[in-house]
Amino acid sequence: MSGAAPSGVDVFDLGSEHEQVVFCNDPASGLRAIVAIHSTALGPALGGTRFYPYASTDDAIVDVLNLSRGMSYKNALAGPDLGGGKAVIIGDPAELKTEALLRAYGRFVQSLNGRYFTACDVGTFSVDMDHIARECDFVTGRTVAHGGAGDSSVLTAYGTFQGMRAAAEQLWGEPTLAGRTVGVAGVGKVGRHLVRHLIEDGATVVVTDVHAPSVEAVRAEYPQVQAVGSTDELVASELDVYAPCAMGGAISDEVLEVLRASIICGAANNQLAHPGIEKQIAERGILYAPDYCVNSGGVIQVADELEGFSFERAQQRASGIFDTTRRVFELAAADGVTTAEAADRLAERRMREVGRLRGIHL
């Protein structure tokens, strides 16, 4: 479910699959947050904290429920013994974010006694996790100075690139983007690193971002990168691969009408604007690499921190996204279903088979 929330969201209806939804309120610091735990069948729920100026509480509820469900599937497919959760803090981080607010939030996460581990997401950074960790034991994605994994966008981009290589192999017979044109929508934390991998692999890269300084920074580092003024302009361009790396709902009916790419593979969460659009993608002959499959490098990176972080070990695990994406494509072909359905089947199989051994994480 993407876009605006219906008026008067019923949390029990919308979150009927979820184990727990917690509303956190600290008027003194301005904290208004929601933590959603979708599933702890495989272990404690892990997912980042998004700090975003939602138009309404209903919008925030819809987002956190969708994102937490996505984390259950992402973690199940990525391999760690972790369930799915997510949190949102409502407000503009540029105006509201303070040490006091983050520490208040940390105390709420601590009250869940390890059922939920938080990390970075849109609007939060490793240094914010350090503040949260002063009140909370269940934090990952911390700064390197505090023994953490640092910026998880590094392996999010690396994993997305591995998924894109698998898609290239599936469609064109070779696991490389050399000589292909890739359009990257959103060159913030993740998209910027993805551009580097693509350039090094020999791809032609076209970018866009609503934040002009992000585009300027990428072009300063890679002058050969082309920039266009909007996402609408990008999707209508002559592309081989479209990589949505910004907010969710990127693949809509309107985008599909004009998209000329043969592959969709990007780092954004919840890319499909509505149920059923995955079938339209397949009918158009476009190969979709499911978002939570290819963008799981970040969660692999921060999950590794729970063992005592080793970047080399985490990167080795993230390189397995190539094989996981390949398995998704193989299952889709064998079962005659879309790649999105195939990814869900693989994730659900693991949650079912391993989850029955564990039950609800306490």
Please give the annotated binding residues, written as ranges.
Answer: 186-191
First-last CA distance in the chain: 29
86 has catalytic annotation: yes
Paired with 206 in beta bridges are 183, 226
Return the closest-CA partner of residue 265 out of 350, 216, 174, 329. Answer: 329
Residue type (1 letter), 183: G
Return the closest-CA partner of residue 48 out of 14, 84, 5. Answer: 84
Query: What gap in Å lies between CA 187 and CA 193, rounded to an integer?
Result: 8
Query: What gap in Å lies between CA 327 and CA 347, rounded to an integer?
Result: 12
Whether 295 contacts 160, CB under 8 Å: yes
Query: What gap in Å lies between CA 186 and CA 192, rounded to an integer?
Result: 8
Pairing of strands 45-46, 116-117: parallel
* Cα pseudo-dihedral 101, 103, 109, 110, rounded to 10: -150
Return the closest-CA partner of residue 3 out of 215, 277, 295, 230. Answer: 277
Among 74, 86, 97, 279, the one annotated catalytic = 86
Q: DSSP string spanning 119-183? A: -B-TT--HHHHHHHHTT-S-B-S--GGGTS---THHHHHHHHHHHHHHHHHHHHSSS--TT-EEE
Neighbours of 190 (CB within 10 A): 29
Q: DSSP string spanning 39-65? A: E-SSSSEE--EEEE--SSHHHHHHHHH
| Active-site amino acid positions | 86
